[in-house]
Structure 1
Amino acid sequence: MATQPIELILARQFGDTLSQAFFLVDPQGNLLYYNEKAEMILGVRFGETGAMSQEEWSKMFLPKDVEGKLLTAEDLPLVQTLRNHKPAHGSFYINSATGESHLINVTSIPVEGRPKRFLGAIALFWNSVQ
């Protein structure tokens, strides 16, 4: 694994301290880390999945809209943040690795380093009341 910028290392450490589900990706959308709270929603430990490409993680949990239509990667807030370098928010269903369906709210934010350079994005998510 290539050495990561210090900002991404610190972001991962920050994610470990949160009681909120946390998902960290690099500028290409490659999954770098998700925390224990995310593991509970996703139904699989990060140690089992490890790093994944954007294509892998955007398909792994079968994101669907409220009508049950599969969402494309471009429909996901985290991918929108990667594309636009701006925060994004959305609600949709995912299937966990254990087969449970969860309606989640997701807010994603860009991660920038100094001097101003785009380093990736963070998604915070939580189960929505159904």
Structure 2
Amino acid sequence: MNVPEDLLYCEDHQWLRPETGERVRLGITDYAQDALGDVAFVDLPTAGTTVSAGEAFGEVESTKSVTELFTPVEGEVVEVNDALESSPGRINEDPYGDGWICVLALARPESLNVLMGPEAYRALIDA
């Protein structure tokens, strides 16, 4: 499984890429998209929505199942990947690039400290 070194991870198999201005780009990992199978539909959050850590903010529907997305951090959704509405398969094709889900403005940037680095995430998926 592909686990990029420049990302942070959570136990729910999501990745976060810190960006400028206390923002993070969020998506699901290669491990998660592989387990889901072919993604057929993505229920995206709405820009402007405030989310709390552990709160469901969307869904990914695949040929195998429907999976809720839970945010690992608190913040405001400031951007969504609208391209997923017409091309949800981008999550399978490029989970760390074109398959990103949303951008959050962090309420508490220090909340990133509880996330895993790539080595810890690899240990989780290899267990």
For Structure 1 versus Structure 2, the TM-score category normalised by the shorter chain is: 0.3 to 0.5
TM-score by length of 2: 0.33
Please identify which structure carries the higher helix content: 1
TM-score by length of 1: 0.32
* Structure number with higher relative contact order (C-alpha < 8 Å, ≥ 6 residues apart): 2
